[in-house]
Chains A and B, each alone.
Chain A
Amino acid sequence: MDFIFAPLNLVTFFPLIGVLILLFLKEREELSRWVALVTSLITFGISLWVLGQFNSSDPGLQLPIDVDWIQVAGWNIRYAMGVDGLSILLVLLTTFLAPISILSTWKAVEERARDFMLFFLLLEIGMVGVFLAQDLFLFYIFWEFTLVPMYFLIGIWGGQQRMYAAIKFFLYTMAGSILMLLAILWLGINQGSFYLPELVSKGGIPGNIQYWLFLAFAAAFAIKVPMWPLHSWLPDAHVQAPTAGSVILAGVLLKMGTYGFLRFNLSLFPQATVQLAPVMATLAVIGIIYGAIVSYSQKDVKKLVAYSSISHLGFVMLGLFALNAQGIEGAILQMVNHGISTGALFLIVGFIYERRHTRELDEFGGLWQVMPLYAVTTLIVALSSMGLPGLNGFVGEFTILLGAWGAGQAGGSLGNILYAAFAAVGVILAAVYILYMFQKMFLGPITKKANEKLKDLSWRELAVIVPLIILIFWIGLYPKPFFALMHPAVEQLLTVFQTAGLALH
């Protein structure tokens, strides 16, 4: 019983109860929406309870679950979960975005709402599991499992090209993860365990093999992030996905990639990490600038936001491979920020799409006059996304740039301040495409007749977006508690590099 009611098991598998209830609700769409919403709210509550038990001064794994799973035939597979400063915020982000996404589908998903909710709750299980799993086998199961519900969400409820997008999403992601599977197996065979803390403390993987293992793991994670040049699945998936799917895809699923780098690549393969940090940082910076430029040239708002994700996640990757406390902490915070801001942007795109059934920038203009409330919300979210001081985006990006700057000094992981300099250009470019979008949609005269009678945000829509705005201000004005949660864990992670004789500060 203790096992079943262990906090981390509850927070991961509670949505399963909602799934089981939904299985018996045939043709009762309204009720199934409520079941899903309540389930996800309770899950969020459980995650807050987990946060309450979380000791932020402890750098190690907390609330651990560690039982034998498959211990025969030479396997040493454990069912091991745990939460620490690197993952707690991402768990909270997931459980926080889930009810918001569900609420956002209230009117958008008319057909087979029960099935939609079912897949959505399954997806939540997979995502939370990815952030909590401490055994590589278990991690891989959650990781790969998230593909299945997301595939259905895109493929059934998506736009015109949904089948193409769904298959592309699945194959692309699977291509990376099967290489990771082989690397996981290699670790299991040669290091005798899949249990992450044990693998980390054991270490001792030869340098040239670390290099290949790093690349195999990176294949899975870089596709998920997505890093340039492996990003081509993302715009398709985002544009075709329903709004809630996009919110979760951008808000959480992409973070699984960056989290993977943070949790596995950095701690398991420290030598290879140091060796490859400049390469990864270069790709990250290319992603920052490429994503920004491509965003600017989009005519479809949703595509614009999708490409902006590539740019924002480039920042996260740059912060991670700065390999210093500021860079990594900034990266973790930026993961959360991106989840909030880009999630909110996708919601905002969804609101207007439900009204006009188009997302072409040229179709809008002057919306401020008819939908002032909507305009103000969008402005706040847009400014947060481009990194205005006082809002959350600034804190994350600024810390990352500080980290990259530090890493650019002699003795740092990157050894060249050009990385930070080019990334800073990305901040300016972000202002360009975000303001361009805002201006096209909201400012100037109303040019299209269809826009004249649009209704402003409803109460339900406000309930969806306001919690995100509160967080945008909170992180922007007082980020200290967020940093406090992750700081000890990040410091401990960095000791891996020191013990490997690779002191970097």
Chain B
Amino acid sequence: MPFNSADLQILLPQIILVTWASALLLIVVFNREAAKGLIPLLSAIGLGITGIFLVPQFRLEQAAFSGMYVADGFSTFLSLLLVLGGLLTIAVSYGYLQRMNLMRGEFYALMLFSISGMMLMASAADLIVVFLALELLSIPLYVLAAFARPEPRSEEAGLKYFLLGAFASGFLLYGIALVYGATGATALTGIVSAVQIGIDQPLYLVLGAGLILTGLGFKVAAVPFHMWTPDVYHGSPTPVTAFMALGAKAAGFAALLRIFIVAFPEVSGQITPVLLTVTIATLLAGNLLAIAQNNVKRMLAYSSISHAGFILMAVVVYGNDAARFDVVASALFYLLAFALASFGSWAVVMVIEKREGRGLEFSDYAGLGGKQPSLAIAMTIFMLSFTGVPPTLGFAGKFFLFRAVLEGGYVGLAIIGVLASLISAYYYLRLVVVMFMQEGEPEIHKDRWLNLTAGATALATVLLFVFSEPLFGWASQALLKVF
């Protein structure tokens, strides 16, 4: 395969990020003390530089390395979102890791490696690259989940995530093999052209698509592949949970959208009923199980499952030509809205959280509205955004999403979606009730960065709603290259 410099140029953000992360690892080896201030700062700078090199790619629509890697609006939007997620993770983890005695420099390097895997996932135009990206993003996450070792809960989270993640990789790989068997190609374009010419065993293609859906379903925590989520989210150190909740989800949906829209439009007739079932199950199970939780971390874990269900609503419609444009744009927009509210709420969780997994119950939030009104108001904004109540970005996200679903003609699914929002209002409001309407003396950890993150994301959640036109615009210009 001939190498040319244009290919490398497209890959530049990836190269920068991976090199930077490797350099950070080296620094940590020689100077353990650097972890306290230098490494987080350097990681943030590295992400910033990556982001700067990403921005010009937004207008591109270009494949590299013989069509295995694509830089287009879609991948750039997601990569920038992941960079933002990385920066927010650094902000929330800085004080937390010190407080919990987890300050080790590898944390940041691992996170950067994982982000590069997620970005690769968003750009992958070949099933083999998808698999590589999945491993690159997952393996650091397994380590990060167990980062609070020897805390048993964290070890359990790491192991559980690893075992189920390995399973998911197996499913994905088997799916890729079947698709290759049916079409003789792993490149998304190759699959399409093979299908157009005609294939002997269409059943293999459908089965392969189903198995790929299963493998990615694990990553985005869709029901019935969600079993790991509450335990892993609960057991992992909270900054890791926050990072995982956005990153793994964004990457999983990136691959789902690109693979299904580009490679599998022909099998949408067979795949859509499966997708529909998974989506409805995810919406209902995520929301209904969240009601029963008394631990805020677990509640947010289930809520994160339910948000995967909302984004899946858009994916269901992928086979509809008229709505396809909105499917991508609304999923991206929703991910952005989710990212802000999610990081903000995890930041508030970390303010209240104490060592050894205490300070995570609903009752620990009692009286927060009286003692720390600004934090409580920020948390309320996040909960409203999750519910989809204006004036928050979450409302705009749901509005956009439901439009895609209605355009695709799935009125029933839209009604199930709004009912799921209604159910979710119950448990989100419960937290607000506890914060504002019950008496209590919550213990607060003073952490400038956590307060800043919570405040900034809360403000963004409201202000970006009022001035949401550019965001709508970017999301809709984040085109997915369909060759």
Chain A interface residues (CB < 8 Å from chain B): 69-75, 112, 115, 137, 140-141, 144-145, 147-148, 151-152, 155-156, 162-163, 166-167, 170-171, 174-175, 178-179, 181-182, 185-186, 188-189
Contact present for B469 and A156 (CB under 8 Å): no
Tell me whether A181 and B475 are in contact (CB under 8 A).
Answer: no
CB-CB under 8 A for A181 and B399, given A155-B437, A166-B437: yes
Give min CB distance, B313 to chain A, whole Å.
13
B406 close to A73 (CB less than 8 A):
no
Contacts of B445 in A (CB 8 A): none
Contacts of A141 in B (CB 8 A): 390-391, 395
Per-residue 0/1 for B453-476: is the Cβ within 8 Å of any A Cβ (1 yes, 0 no)? 000000000000000110011011
Identify the closest chain B residue to A152 (Cβ): B436
Q: What is the distance, in angstroms, from A23's C-beta to the closest C-beta of chain B?
A: 10
The 19 sampled A-B contact pairs (Cβ below 8 Å) are: A70-B469, A72-B472, A74-B326, A74-B476, A141-B390, A144-B389, A145-B390, A148-B389, A156-B437, A163-B438, A166-B437, A171-B429, A174-B389, A174-B421, A178-B418, A178-B421, A181-B402, A182-B411, A186-B406
Interface of A is mostly: helix
Q: Given the interface contacts A72-B472, A178-B421, A182-B418, does A167 sit within 8 Å of B373 by beta carbon?
A: no
> Residues of A contacting B407 with CB < 8 Å?
189
Distance in Å: Cβ of B289 to nearest Cβ of chain A: 18
Q: Are A70 and B402 in contact (CB under 8 A)?
A: no
Tell me the count of chain B residues lying within 8 A, CB to CB, of chain A.
39
In Å, the complex CA distance between A145 and B403 comes to: 21
Q: Contacts of B395 on A, CB cut-off 8 Å? A: 141, 144
Cross-chain contact A185 with B429 (CB below 8 angstroms): no
Question: Is B426 within 8 A of A75, CB to CB?
Answer: no
Which one of B373, B399, B433 lies within 8 Å of A185 (CB-CB)? B399
Contacts of A175 in B (CB 8 A): 422
B281 within 8 A of A: no
B374 nearest in chain A by CB position: A23
- Enumerate chain A residues within 8 angstroms of B414, measured Cβ to Cβ: 182, 185
Chain B min CB distance to A305 (Å): 25
CB distance from A250 to the nearest CB of B (A): 22
Chain B residue at smallest Cβ distance from A188: B403
When chains A and B are docked, how far (Å) is the Cα of A70 from the Cα of B476? 12
What's the Cα separation between A151 and B391 when bound, in Å?
15
Partner of B406, one of A70, A156, A163, A182: A182
Q: Does B60 contact A (CB under 8 A)?
A: no
In contact, A167 and B476 (Cβ under 8 angstroms) = no
* B469 / chain A contacts, CB cutoff of 8 Å: 69-72
What residues on A are CB-neighbors of B437 within 8 Å? 155-156, 162-163, 166
Inter-subunit contact A181/B418 (CB<8 Å):
yes
Interface string of B419-452 (1 = CB under 8 A from A): 1011001100110110011100000000000000
Question: Quick check: B473 and A73 within 8 Å, CB to CB?
Answer: yes
B215 to chain A, nearest CB (A): 31
Given A74-B326, A144-B389; A182-B426 close (CB under 8 Å)? no
CB atoms of B390 and A170 under 8 A apart: no
Q: In the bound complex, do residue B415 and residue A182 qualify as a contact, i.e. CB atoms below 8 Å apart?
A: yes
Given contacts A69-B469, A73-B472, A178 and B390 within 8 Å (CB-CB): no
Evaluate contact between A72 and B476: CB separation under 8 angstroms: yes
Known: A73-B329, A73-B472, A73-B473. A155 touches B403 (CB 8 A): no
Residue of B nearest to A140 (CB): B390
Q: Does B384 touch A at the CB level, under 8 Å?
A: yes
Binary contact readout B297-322 vs A (1 if CB under 8 angstroms, 0 otherwise): 00000000000000000000000000
Tell whether A166 pairs with B406 under 8 Å between CB atoms, given A140-B390, A141-B391: no
Given contacts A148-B389, A189-B403, whether A70 and B429 have CB atoms under 8 Å apart is: no
Q: Residues of B at under 8 Å CB distance from A? A: 325-326, 329, 369-370, 373, 384, 389-391, 395, 399-400, 402-403, 406-407, 411, 414-415, 418-419, 421-422, 425-426, 429-430, 432-433, 436-438, 468-469, 472-473, 475-476
Asked if B391 contacts A163 (CB within 8 A), the reply is no
Q: Which 10 A-B pairs have the closest CB atoms?
A: A73-B476, A178-B418, A72-B473, A141-B390, A73-B472, A155-B437, A70-B469, A72-B472, A163-B433, A144-B390
Taken together as a complex, chains A and B put the C-alpha atoms of A247 and B286 apart, in Å, by 39
**Chain A: minimal CB distance from B12 (Å):** 29
Contact of A174 among B402, B422, B433, B436 (CB under 8 A): B422
Assembly CA distance A214 to B200 (angstroms): 51
Measured CB to CB, the closest approach of chain A to B52, in angstroms, equals 25
- Nearest A residue to B390 via CB reads A141
A70 close to B421 (CB less than 8 A): no
B79 CB to closest chain A CB (Å) equals 20
> CB-CB < 8 A to A189: which residues of B?
403, 406-407
Q: In the complex where A152-B436, A155-B436, A166-B433 touch, is A75 in contact with B425 (Cβ < 8 A)?
A: no
- B422 touches which one: A148, A151, A162, A178 (CB < 8 A)? A178
A156–B435 Cα distance when bound, in Å, is 10
Known pairs A178-B418, A189-B406; A73 contacts B475 (CB<8 A): yes
Chain A residues closer than 8 Å to B419, beta-carbon distance: 178
Contact of A167 among B325, B433, B468, B472 (CB under 8 A): B433
Q: Complex: how many Å from CA A148 to CA B468?
A: 21
Q: A73-B475, A145-B389 are in contact. List 11 more A-B contacts (CB 8 A).
A: A73-B400, A137-B399, A141-B390, A145-B391, A156-B369, A174-B389, A178-B421, A181-B402, A182-B406, A186-B406, A189-B403
Closest to A145 in B: B390
B399 partner residues in chain A, CB cutoff 8 A:
137, 181, 185
A185 near B406: Cβ-Cβ < 8 Å: yes
Complex formed: what's the CA distance from A152 to B370 in Å? Answer: 13
Contacts of B326 in A (CB 8 A): 73-74
Chain A neighbourhood of B418, CB < 8 A:
178-179, 181-182
B422: A residues at CB distance < 8 A? 171, 174-175, 178
> A75 — which chain B residues lie within 8 A by C-beta?
472
Question: What is the chain B residue whose CB lies nearest that of A172?
Answer: B422
Closest approach, in angstroms, between the C-beta of A198 and any C-beta of chain B? 18
The complex places the Cα of A151 from the Cα of B429 at a distance, in Å, of 10
Q: Is the CB of B384 within 8 A of A70?
A: no
Complex interface: chain A residues within 8 A of B391 (CB): 141, 145
| Residue numbers in A under 8 Å from B373 (CB-CB) | 115
Most chain A CB atoms below 10 A, which of B373, B419, B433, B438: B433
A188 to B438, CA, bound (A): 42
- Give the chain B neighbours of A72 by CB distance below 8 A: 469, 472-473, 476
Task: Give A122 Cβ to nearest chain B Cβ, in Å.
Answer: 11
Report the Cα distance A141→B394, complex, angstroms: 12
B403 touches A70 (CB 8 A): no
Given the complex of chains A and B, what is the CA–CA distance between A74 and B436 in angstroms? 40
**Residues of chain A lying within 8 A (CB to CB) of residue B429:** 151, 167, 170-171
Question: How many Å from the CB of A372 to the closest CB on chain B?
Answer: 39
Inter-chain CA distance A465–B373, complex, in Å, is 34
Contact B425 A70 (CB under 8 A): no
Minimum Cβ distance to chain A for residue B366 (Å) = 12
Nearest residue in B to A112 (C-beta to C-beta)?
A: B370
Q: Which residue of A lies closest to B323 (CB)?
A: A189
CB distance from A307 to the nearest CB of B (A): 26
| B436:A171 contact, CB within 8 angstroms | no
Query: A412 to nearest B CB, angstroms?
Result: 35
In Å, the complex CA distance between A188 and B403 comes to 9
Residues on the A chain within 8 Å of B402, using CB: 181-182, 185
Contact of B472 among A70, A112, A144 (CB under 8 A): A70
Q: Which residues of B are found within 8 Å of A145, using beta-carbon distances?
A: 389-391
* Complex interface: chain B residues within 8 A of A170 (CB): 425, 429
Cα(A170)–Cα(B325), bound, Å: 34
